[in-house]
Structure 1
Amino acid sequence: MTLRLGTRRSALATTQSSWVADQLRALGHDVELVEITTEGDRDQSTPLASLGGTGVFVSALRDALREGTVDLAVHSLKDLPTTPEDDLVVAAIPVREDPRDALVARDGLTLGELPAGSTVGTGSPRRRAQLEALGLGLDVRGLRGNVDTRLGKVTSGDLDAVILAYAGLSRLGRTAVVTEVIDPIQMLPAPGQGALAVEVRVDDAATRDAVMALEDADTRACVLAERAVLAELEAGCSAPVGALAEIVLGDAGDELSLRAVVGSPDGAGDLRRSVTGSPADADSLGRALARTLLEDGAADLAPLRTTENVSTTENVSTTQNVHTISTVHTERHGA
């Protein structure tokens, strides 16, 4: 049986899907790539928030799954709304690429070296909010398009710099253009950034069994915690929310360390909080951290609730060990 793998047509999406296909082929499966055009691919000019968030890259692939046109679909995990689908399941989350953001700037400059007034392109409200909060005096401008289109804005001189996900540049073999990999202390990535989701139909046991061999348990725990923050905040993929979870060595073995930020769209302030706990409690850790953010005023900083991504999952207990280790930032802070 040939597995039909649905993918977007962009170079990055095709590269990611080809990597998954190669992993499956190495396990003895025949795999055929099936290209699907999504709304986000057709409209390259409208801001993603106006289109309905990054979920616009997902719906066409899910439709193809449901119609039986494809047997599995590969998504950038940060594009997936957090509300689960009854008839679809993420059967595998492979090992994650570097989740950080990357700066590509003229003349090899870093964020701290860009002069005040420099133009920096990004289509992400999360990146914009955190950039503004750094107080560097940068002129942040909206940006859409594929990786080459965005990079071309710098080489042409239209922009002084752009910010992209390092993982995408890495998968495309383009890391040589990166002038700075941005420290999460300055800019927390999008929940799930750098990770892939392999989605199948719930009732397709054969494909699900084949795909499950690609699963990486540590990656799933980390992205589960990050996406739980979004779900509990009832925030859409395009909200100014960043989160990053890592598996670290604690006194009693592996621990999950989770950081999150909610930023003001105009950069007037941001709220950062952290928790640690067991990787087995990833979902509840993320939800507990989100409730801490809300209790400390996150909803006053940014509009969070969207129709794109409202979670239907019930709240869970917060009796596990939660340590808040960061402070509220209500003013601009330097790099």
Structure 2
Amino acid sequence: MIRIGTRESQLAVWQASQVKNLLSEQGVEAELVYIKSEGDVDLKTPLYEMGVQGIFTRSLDIALLNNKIDMAVHSMKDVPTQLPEGIAQAAVLKRASWKDLLIYKGEHFTFDSELAAASCIIATSSIRRKAQWLNRYPHHTIENLRGNVNTRLRKLEESNWNGAIFAAAGLERIGLRPHNSMELDWMLPAPAQGAITVACRSNHEKLLEICNRFNDTDTALCTKIERDFLRALLGGCSTPISALATISNNRVVFNGNILSVDGKHKVELHKSLAVTEAIEAGKSFASELLANGGQEIADGIQKNNGR
């Protein structure tokens, strides 16, 4: 019996259950093991003040290395770009929507012009979303919003905020996307947003081989490029870095950016190259972005973070 480690939130359990079903299709029996993460315990501190990367994965990593579970299932955007020694990426599932959503109060803000004209209070705990939002709507106010999907929806309903930003994939997976929502097509996602990844101990060769059977190679390549881009720049929830790689006609189309925390400064990159040339592209994309104005923003972020 394979033990699948998961956080206790509705979304995390849904994701782990998908992996359980995929294992069942391979004739492998599995059970879910629930583990509480630091990110689930502290629901007040903004994510970018909590030691950043690994806040939702550390407890599962420890359980994996201590042989309390055999695999862990994560939202891939939560996983540090450098895995702990002894842990390997076993599979990446086919990506769902990479987009962010604005859930707004009532029936308002269905058009960009309304948002631009209004003085709004928008909630998010993501420094990436905050920076991109303020870059587009500098006159708006951003409030912190923490908790799992259900908790954040409740807090939005009980607040005086005009809206809050969520990942589309998370809401859609558990059937909670409300009608009063709009896709933010202009907002670039966090690297690997919308993807689910499976981690195993690196010496568990049989399980790694089984998981590889349901690995989606296109999603694995795109998320590798995005995460390499993130790692080569700065690296975590405390940096307003966005990246999206997609594949069309055997070519990788890449869009990435870095913003100052206040959203006043932004440097973007748009690239296209053949799939066969793309495996190490994330690092070169990051170098190009830094050379074309991104370094100044990165230095400012590092200074503000006390590095």
TM-score range (shorter-chain normalised) is over 0.9
Shift of 1:238: 3.0
Give the secondary-structure state (helix, strand or coil) at the position aligned to 2:278.
helix
- The 2-side partners of 1:15 and 1:238 are apart by 27
Q: Which amino acid aligns with 1:290?
A: A
- The equivalent of 2:226 in structure 1 is 226
TM-score, scaled relative to structure 1: 0.85
- The 1-side partners of 2:270 and 2:243 are apart by 9
1:6–1:33 contact (8 Å) kept in structure 2: yes
Cα-to-partner distance string for 1:15-71 (whole Å, 9 max, x where unaligned): 111111112112211110000111111111111111111411111101011010000
Give the secondary-structure state (helix, strand or coil) at the position aligned to 1:296.
helix
1:131 aligned onto 2:127: no
Q: Which amino acid aligns with 1:92?
A: A
Shift of 1:137: 2.4
1:38–1:61 contact (8 Å) kept in structure 2: yes
- The 2-side partners of 1:177 and 1:247 are apart by 30
Distance 1:21 1:305, change over 3 A: farther
- The 2-side partners of 1:11 and 1:110 are apart by 28
- The 2-side partners of 1:141 and 1:47 are apart by 10
- The 1-side partners of 2:17 and 2:269 are apart by 37
- The 2-side partners of 1:44 and 1:61 are apart by 18
Q: Which runs of 5+ in 2 are unaligned?
A: none
2:126–2:237 contact (8 Å) kept in structure 1: no
1:103–1:182 contact (8 Å) kept in structure 2: yes
Distance 1:93 1:84, change over 3 A: same
- The equivalent of 1:201 in structure 2 is 201
- The 2-side partners of 1:13 and 1:282 are apart by 31
Give the secondary-structure state (helix, strand or coil) at the position aligned to 1:228.
helix
Aligned pairs for 1:125-164 within 5 A: 125-135=127-137, 137-164=139-166
Q: Which amino acid aligns with 1:64?
A: A
- The equivalent of 1:311 in structure 2 is none
Shift of 1:194: 0.4
Q: Which amino acid aligns with 2:259?
A: G
1:71 aligned onto 2:70: yes
- The 1-side partners of 2:73 and 2:119 are apart by 39
2:75–2:194 contact (8 Å) kept in structure 1: yes
- The 2-side partners of 1:268 and 1:286 are apart by 25
- The 2-side partners of 1:218 and 1:230 are apart by 19
- The equivalent of 1:187 in structure 2 is 187
- The equivalent of 1:315 in structure 2 is none
Aligned sequence identity (%): 35
Aligned pairs for 1:1-335 within 5 A: 2-108=1-107, 109-110=109-110, 112=112, 113-114=114-115, 115-135=117-137, 137-177=139-179, 179-183=181-185, 186-249=186-249, 254-302=250-298, 303=300
Q: Which amino acid aligns with 1:264?
A: S
Q: Which runs of 5+ in 1 are unaligned?
A: 309-335
Give the secondary-structure state (helix, strand or coil) at the position aligned to 2:54.
helix
Give the secondary-structure state (helix, strand or coil) at the position aligned to 2:106.
helix
Cα-to-partner distance string for 1:189-228 (whole Å, 9 max, x where unaligned): 0000000110000111121122112200000111011011
2:104–2:163 contact (8 Å) kept in structure 1: yes
- The 1-side partners of 2:206 and 2:85 are apart by 18
How many residue pairs get aligned? The number is 301
Q: CA RMSD in A?
A: 1.9
1:276–1:285 contact (8 Å) kept in structure 2: no
Shift of 1:98: 0.5
Q: Which amino acid aligns with 2:268?
A: R
- The 2-side partners of 1:219 and 1:178 are apart by 29
- The 1-side partners of 2:191 and 2:292 are apart by 20
Cα-to-partner distance string for 1:60-110 (whole Å, 9 max, x where unaligned): 101011010000000111111112433111110010111110110012333
- The 2-side partners of 1:78 and 1:174 are apart by 20
Give the secondary-structure state (helix, strand or coil) at the position aligned to 1:162.
strand
